[in-house]
Chain A
């Protein structure tokens, strides 16, 4: 199934199913999602809002909000299952082995604690170091993420920092206990456009330095194109296409990906070249049978209504779930 050229993955997600029981029946928010992240690799995860990007992140770190629950599949970190751990076992993994950066830096930090208090607490939760050592580490970390005069500013409260600076603090917090994997959930969406690139750069550099892998969740293909090694495209809780970034951008196999790619503005492109996908993503309670994309697809044919396509290899390391590829290409 998966490309066998891949090294032993750091994170391996297989057939992950996430369900939400509601009073109108059970909604399937993630449906057999599979992907790997290699050591040191940056995997981009794109899709419209509601496609299940953030849910995937929450499921991996074990923080699905009730009543949401993992109903099938498995998640492995360096080969060991982590989807069935107890709360306490999982807690030791969170922050220590998997870090997470949230979307809105304005609400991610506790307003009543200084940055130093929050950093030191995080470090000392996972590492056996003294208060003074933890503080030294914290200052170094803030300095590394680009907070000027870190030694002085560390005792400030979050509201003393600007949005961009706060997101740097959030990144420092996520990386405080040196995790192997960082899940960044729309880390720049809430920020001013002028600082978005800087934040992504900081995140990418610091992870590269430490050899940490990154799962970058975003709806911005531009960010993916510049940052990620590989990209997974999610649609209605299913992986539509996954492969190396360059490959996917230049040779998108799935009509949905092709539509998304059309939405990246580049210098040569004029606005009339922007491809718009007609229609909207189906709601979770009305996903059509067969391929979930069939109502919006320009290339739809009868098979798409009958059977759901599974991920098949279309090119080296490049997998697509589409009957077009199946019947035409393979």
Chain B
């Protein structure tokens, strides 16, 4: 068990190092940091002095090591566009994105699994057919269009819900601000959370349905039926548990995808999160922010992957043997 976790952590570190290399290459070679920082009118001597001061004349390895050691301490430099430390910018906007992603993720998972199981068990029912057809439209609708249409309906026409921003937020501790604690904060979450979660929900639903249908065809389900077990025991015990094994992995990855997809939702709803920060950095070629965002996403993915592995391990007894065997 311990050996397995250690190995996974080691693999994660390698992935992080590769991402760091990409980030660094971005940081160092895309655009000219000197001209971006000093503007057109600086003299050549000034440029050279800054170049030396920033260590841009050092060998590649030294610069990379420097970059990584500063990144580990949370120092990604100064945003070209906003002239603020990148880490500060990201930290101030991270709570908004994480809260949004959490609510959408829970929505997507609960409804995705629920609908998936329902449509698998009632394959030919009219409700299943309807859900499946609507889900296909859901997959075809681009996320931003869902958001815009929701705004149109619920914010412009019905005027039930706000169309942009986080509403009133409450500061918790030094940097975390939450929208969960105020009515306007909660109301502001609804439309973005649905927008962000809908696509993931349809994906999870289709996956659960496909896996469940696959499981329902297996011999052990046939054997369970032949033993006269109740439908409830077969469907929600034997079948669902086996369905969840592959679903967990993909759902975990979807959670990471939600944070990345938040870029779009945040733009539509002017949600003050890291995604909106990133899209502006792409638009204005604000390289330090792009590099830092890339690292952040990588960290989130790596952490999620680790959690998924551990969950997998907890659910499937077969893995315990193989890996315990490998670890001995």
Q: Do chains A and B touch in the complex (CB under 8 A)?
A: yes
Q: Are A94 and B242 in contact (CB under 8 A)?
A: no
Known: A107-B218, A110-B242, A113-B238. A63 touches B226 (CB 8 A): yes
- Cβ-neighbour of B220 out of A94, A95, A108, A160 (below 8 A): A108
B228's partner among A96, A111, A112 (CB-CB below 8 A) is A96
CA A176 to CA B316, docked complex, whole Å: 26
* Docked complex: A121-135 residues within 8 A CB-CB of B: 121-122, 125-126
Is A157 a contact partner of B317 (Cβ separation < 8 A)?
yes
Minimum CB distance partner of A87 in chain B: B231
**B228–A177 CB distance below 8 A:** yes
Q: Are the C-beta atoms of A100 and B223 separated by less than 8 Å?
A: yes
B328 at the interface (CB under 8 A from A): no
| Residues of A with C-beta under 8 A to B73 | none
* Chain A residues touching B, range: 20 to 34
Q: Are B223 and A159 in contact (CB under 8 A)?
A: no
Set B223, B225, B230, B318: member contacting A111, Cβ < 8 A = B318
A173 to B227, CA, bound (A): 8
Inter-chain contact B226/A100, CB cutoff 8 Å: yes
Residues facing B in A162-184 (CB within 8 A) are 170, 173-174, 176-177
Alpha-carbon gap, A62 to B315, bound state (A): 32
Q: 1/0 per position for A104-116, CB-CB distance to B under 8 A?
A: 1001111111000
CB distance from A43 to the nearest CB of B (A): 18
- Residues on the B chain within 8 Å of A102, using CB: 219, 222-223, 226
Decide: B241 and A94 in contact? CB cutoff 8 A. no
A76 within 8 A of B: no
Using a Cβ–Cβ cut-off of 8 Å, how many residues does chain B contribute to the interface with A?
A: 24
B229 at the interface (CB under 8 A from A): yes
Known: A157-B317, A159-B321. A99 touches B223 (CB 8 A): no
CA distance A157 to B245 in the complex (A): 16
Are the CB atoms of A95 and B222 closer together than 8 Å? no
Chain B: minimal CB distance from A104 (Å): 6
A92 at the B interface (CB under 8 A): yes
A157 pairs with B318, CB closer than 8 A: yes
Give the docked Cα–Cα distance between A110 and B237 (Å): 10
Q: Whose C-beta in chain A lies nearest to the C-beta of B218?
A: A107
Asked if A110 and B226 sit within 8 Å, CB to CB, the answer is no
Interface of chain B: mostly helix, strand, loop or mixed: helix
Interface string of A84-104 (1 = CB under 8 A from B): 000000011111100110101
Cβ of A110 and Cβ of B229 under 8 Å apart? no
Q: Which residues of A contact B220 (CB under 8 A)?
A: 107-111
| Closest chain B residue, CB of each to CB of A157 | B317
Given the complex of chains A and B, what is the CA–CA distance between A147 and B60 in angstroms?
Answer: 65
The answer, yes or no, to whether B233 is at the interface (CB within 8 Å) is yes
A122 to B220, CA, bound (A): 13
User: How far is the CB of B236 from the nearest CB of chain A, in Å?
Assistant: 13
Asked if A112 contacts B315 (CB within 8 A), the reply is: yes
A207 at the interface (CB under 8 A from B): no
With a cutoff of 8 Å between Cβ atoms, the chain A residues found around residue B227 in the complex are 94-95, 99-100, 122, 125, 173-174, 176-177
Indicate if A61 sits at the interface (CB-CB under 8 A): yes
Residues of B within 8 A of A160 (CB): 321
Q: How far is the CA of A323 from the CA of B226 in the complex (A)?
A: 39
A-side contacts of B228, CB under 8 Å: 91-96, 122, 125-126, 177
CB-CB under 8 A for A112 and B230, given A63-B225, A173-B223: no
Chain A residues positioned under 8 Å from B223 (CB to CB): 100, 102, 108-109, 170, 173
List, sorted by A's number, 27 A–B pairs whose CB atoms are closer than 8 Å: A92-B228, A93-B228, A94-B225, A94-B227, A94-B228, A95-B229, A99-B226, A100-B223, A100-B226, A107-B220, A108-B223, A109-B220, A110-B238, A110-B242, A111-B220, A112-B316, A121-B229, A121-B233, A121-B237, A122-B228, A125-B227, A125-B228, A126-B228, A159-B318, A159-B321, A173-B227, A174-B226
Chain A contact residues, CB within 8 Å of chain B: 61, 63, 91-96, 99-100, 102, 104, 107-113, 121-122, 125-126, 157, 159-160, 170, 173-174, 176-177
Inter-chain pairs besides A112-B316, A125-B230, 15 sampled, C-beta below 8 Å? A91-B230, A93-B228, A94-B228, A96-B228, A99-B227, A107-B220, A110-B224, A111-B316, A111-B318, A112-B315, A112-B317, A113-B241, A125-B229, A125-B233, A177-B228
The interface of chain B, by Cβ under 8 A from chain A, is 218-220, 222-231, 233, 237-238, 241-242, 245, 315-318, 321
